[in-house]
Amino acid sequence: MDKLGINLGFLLFQIFNFLILMILLYAFAYHPIVRMLENRRQKIAQGNEDARIAGEARANAEKEAARIIAEAQSKAGQMVREATERAELAAKDVRAATEAEAGKARESALAEVGEERNRILGDLRGQVAALSIAATQKLIGEALDEKRQHALINDFFSGVKSGKVVALEGAQVSGASADVTSALPLTKDEQEKVKKDVLAKMGKQASVTFRVDPAILGGLVLRVGDKVLDGSVAAQLEGLRQSLK
């Protein structure tokens, strides 16, 4: 070793110092560095895992939010449709109620007009009767007693003679209802006589309604189904006109 220029003691001393340095480096430098690197690696791995979990949570939250929004939109749409339908139904009900009220008001007004018309015609009946009696007296040149006067006038307007409806004499009628038209409103007593005679022909179950049409001048027009029995003065005058042609 001396020939090679190597001092064995010094070499051993250097080797010993190197080993001590290695031990010190391993104990105080390498091991802490390795431990620090391992901790850092674990932290990075944990961070990546946390990031992955956070990403999944965010994705799940976005999906849940989208689902909730879709459900809310669907429910809102359904509520809007239901509200629209309810509003339309309410509007229809209001229109129907308004039309019904208008119809009732119109019917009431027509009824009032009809009643007023019949009242005026009823008042006119007395005037027509007086004029007719005066004309008759002048025509025949003699006075009629009051009872006879009223009987003639009543027969003329009611179309009833001796308690029987003139238009029904010899007629065969049947049906569920009869419509009776007079020139002027009939009195209650006259209506009862007409109704009694009509029901005697048609049966007790039939119904009788009364109308007023001054155009027929006098007498009665009865309509039973499609059958018309015209005993009016207007029809008699028309027949007379035709016969004189």
pLDDT at 30 over 70: yes
Q: What is the mean pLDDT of residues 229-233?
A: 84
Task: Summarize the confidence of residues 139-166 as an average pLDDT.
Answer: 63
Using pLDDT thresholds of 50, 70 and 90, give the confidence band for residue 139.
very low
Q: What global pTM score does this model have?
A: 0.45
pLDDT-based confidence at 62, cuts 50/70/90?
Answer: confident
C-alpha span between 55 and 50 (Å, rounded): 8
Tell me the pLDDT of the chain averaged across its residues: 77
pLDDT at 137 over 70: no
Q: Strand order of the sheet with strand 219-224?
A: 207-212, 177-182, 219-224, 227-232
